Amino acid sequence: MKKLFVILLFIFSYKEIAAQNGQIRVYDEPSTHKETISRRDKFRLYTGATVGIMPLRLSGTMDKGNGNMSVSTTSIYTSYPQFRHVDKTAIVANLFVPVGFNIPVYRTKKWSTGFKLNAAIGFQVGVVNAEGLTAWGFDFPQFVYYRRYSGRIDYSVLAGWKYNTTALPYQLCLLGLDLNFDDTQFRFYFSPAPYIYYRELTNGTIEPALKIYEVGFGYFYYFGR
Amino acid sequence: MIIETVPVIEYTDISIPNAGDIKYFSFPSVDVGYAASDTNFIYKTIDGGKTWTAIKNSNWDSYRQCKGIAFYDELNGFCLIGGTGYSTKDGGTSWTVSNPGYSGNSTVAFCGLTSSGVGIIGRYERYGYMSIYYSPDKGKTFNFFDQIFIPGAIDVFGGRVCNEFITVFTNEMSGNIYGIPYSITSATNQLEFDLSATAKDFYTVDNASGIAVGEDGCLADCYSAYINYNHPIHKYEYYSIDGRNGVVVAVGENTIVSNIDIGSEEEWNHVLDVHGNGFAKTFFMIRFSGDREFYISGENGLIWKASI
């Protein structure tokens, strides 16, 4: 009787363990594992749109004269200029339509890492104190990402760099966060440090003239599975 | 990335308290300088402008403003006050009349030193003639050198000694201006520059070219007789221009401009202070003391020792 109890206990215990293992094995089963990872992060083409806000910190000299302009044969000038140093903030908005490639380099069952290479066309518009900065141009944001998809939220952390060729070309280091869904993605990004244009004074001093920051978000659709 | 290059000046303010407009000055050394206000005072410093002492001569009381001042060295110099030239050989302690031939019918218009140290006085003699005198003895006496004739001129109101040349100005002849670079070593090289505004100063580059400044923002390259090219960048009045080794600076009402090369050759640009502000002062005179160093004088006793 005692032996029978032990055998039954062993059987029930085995079944329970087997069931637990079964759940795990379903996840760990080699062929299914590959399928899950590949579904979640693989080489894919995507497109979408990004909207960025660029605060520009301007530091320079402005003519606060009477504004009466005179015209010579070579130039237009203010008749009685009054040059004053001013610091002010301008705001520029941009909209770009990128085409990019998601290129995973290393994948595990919980996370992956790789590159997101992008090229975009779009335009920027001067919103506040930014006359003359409305223009078409190109944007080339490139990222290294770390993607984690084992939890309830599938997200990627981005670190990257962009080069922009609109009215005032600039480069920025970027940090970002992607929220990933099956075929779509939302992105938030910002520049932790500004791109700085400098002015050189004839006494040898070099000082910041324009600091460009950017913060933005994007929506992307991924092709293929 | 460098987005722009800005011409700026750094300056040390060595202004004279309670002085009038400083229209003439001479700094024979770093420490010793003389400045003339529009009163009948001349101010002297022996410590580079930290302190100034008024020099007054009893003969000057009945006259008004100084018309020029030039010092050969710290002790020897001359000035023009009330139409008369005075010289000193003791740093301004005593002054003697240095132009005994003065008749009273002519007007001393300007004075200066050539780059080789020859003292020059220009005196308007009516009917378009400007007599040029030079001093062989550091301003003690002046000898007649030559006359410059400006056809049709009724008033010849000024002149400039720059490098080895003498230039005189008139505002007659249908409003045109005639500047005449005039070599002290050769009186035959007389040129006329026909400007469209009243000239106030002329920086002579060589015996055939220079840069004129004047009213209404007149800033003109003068290459040869009757040929000039204006650089209008404002309509303030210029009063003085000077330069050295290709760097030229002009000053005037609320303005300092320079041709200092910031990437656009032969372009003139507004000069700012190191904080990026323009100047809301009137400057009357500029003279270079080094390749990039100069003195500027202006309203209310203003004197700056500056560099660009």
In tens, the pLDDT along A16-72 reads: 334 444 443 433 444 444 445 555 789 999 999 999 999 999 998 988 887 777 776
C-alpha–C-alpha distance, residues A77 and B297, integer Å? 26
Q: Is residue B8 over pLDDT 80?
A: yes
pLDDT band with cut points at 50, 70 and 90 for residue A97: very high
CA distance, residue B212 to nearest chain A CA (Å): 18
Is the Cβ–Cβ distance between A40 and A154 less than 8 Å? yes
What pLDDT score does B232 carry?
Answer: 86
Size of interface A-B (CB pairs under 8 A): 78
ipTM score of the complex?
Answer: 0.84
CA distance, residue B222 to nearest chain A CA (Å): 17
Q: Is residue A104 over pLDDT 80?
A: yes
Q: What percent of chain B shows pLDDT beyond 70?
A: 82
C-beta atoms of A83 and B276 within 8 A: yes
C-beta atoms of B276 and A79 within 8 A: no
What pLDDT score does A8 carry?
Answer: 40
Q: What is the pLDDT of residues B225-248, one digit of tens each?
A: 666 778 889 999 999 999 998 899
Q: Is residue B115 over pLDDT 80?
A: yes
Q: Which of residues 47-76 of A touch B (CB under 8 A)?
A: 60-61, 70, 72, 75
Q: Mean pLDDT in chain B?
A: 83
Substitution target from A80, A85, A195, A202 for chain B, most B beta carbons within 10 A: A202
Q: What is the number of residues in chain A?
A: 225
What pLDDT score does A88 carry?
Answer: 92
Helix H or strand E segment including A28:
helix A2-28
Residue with tokens 């030039």: B70
What pLDDT score does A151 carry?
Answer: 81
What pLDDT score does A75 carry?
Answer: 76
C-alpha–C-alpha distance, residues A91 and B169, integer Å? 53
What pLDDT score does B222 carry?
Answer: 82
Q: Dihedral, CA atoms, B80, B82, B88, B92, nearest 10 degrees?
A: -100
What pLDDT score does B168 carry?
Answer: 80
Residue B140 has what DSSP assignment?
A: S
pLDDT band with cut points at 50, 70 and 90 for residue A118: very high
C-beta atoms of A209 and B4 within 8 A: yes
Helix H or strand E segment including A39:
helix A30-40
Q: Is residue B48 over pLDDT 50?
A: yes
Long-range Cβ pairs for the range B76-80 (8 Å, 24+): B76/B138, B76/B139, B77/B26, B77/B28, B77/B34, B77/B138, B77/B139, B78/B111, B78/B119, B78/B135, B78/B139, B79/B24, B79/B34, B79/B36, B79/B42, B79/B111, B80/B108, B80/B110, B80/B111, B80/B121
Q: Mean pLDDT in chain A?
A: 84
Sign, CA torsion B244/B246/B249/B250: positive
Q: Is residue B57 over pLDDT 80?
A: no
C-alpha–C-alpha distance, residues A147 and A159, integer Å? 12
Q: Tell the burial category of A15 from Cβ atoms under 10 Å away from its Cβ (0-12, 13-18, 19+).
A: exposed
Which of the pair, B153 or A135, is modelled with greater confidence? A135
pLDDT band with cut points at 50, 70 and 90 for residue B158: confident
Is the Cβ–Cβ distance between B45 and B14 less than 8 Å? yes
Which of the pair, A108 or B59, is modelled with greater confidence? A108
Q: What is the pLDDT of residues A147-187, one digit of tens each?
A: 999 888 999 999 999 999 998 899 999 999 999 998 999 99
C-alpha–C-alpha distance, residues A195 and A197, integer Å? 7
Q: Is residue B175 over pLDDT 60?
A: no
What pLDDT score does B190 carry?
Answer: 61
Q: What percent of chain A shows pLDDT beyond 90?
A: 64
What pLDDT score does B238 carry?
Answer: 95
Residues in Cβ contact with B292 at an 8 Å cutoff, skipping those fewer than 6 apart: B247, B307, B308
Half-sphere exposure of B115 (CA within 13 A, CB side): 16
Distance of CA B75 to the CA centre of its chain: 21
C-beta atoms of A72 and B236 within 8 A: no
What pLDDT score does B10 carry?
Answer: 95
Q: CA–CA distance from B17 to each of A76, B27, B67, B295 (Å)?
A: 39, 18, 21, 17
* Listed range (A18-22, A57-61, B69-73, B265-269) with the worst mean pLDDT: A18-22
Substitution target from A201, A206, A212 for chain B, most B beta carbons within 10 A: A201
Helix H or strand E segment including B165:
strand B165-170
C-beta atoms of B235 and A70 within 8 A: yes
C-beta atoms of B3 and A210 within 8 A: yes
Q: Which of residues 97-116 of A touch B (CB under 8 A)?
A: none
Which of the pair, B20 or B306, is modelled with greater confidence? B306
What pLDDT score does B45 carry?
Answer: 96
C-alpha–C-alpha distance, residues A171 and A33, integer Å? 40
C-beta atoms of B6 and A72 within 8 A: no
C-alpha–C-alpha distance, residues B303 and B40, integer Å? 18
C-beta atoms of A80 and B235 within 8 A: yes
Residues in Cβ contact with A49 at an 8 Å cutoff, skipping those fewer than 6 apart: A95, A96, A97, A98, A218, A219
What's the rounded mean pLDDT across residues B279-296?
95
Half-sphere exposure of B23 (CA within 13 A, CB side): 21
Q: What is the pLDDT of residues B32-47, one digit of tens each?
A: 999 998 776 889 999 9
What's the rounded mean pLDDT across residues B122-150?
80
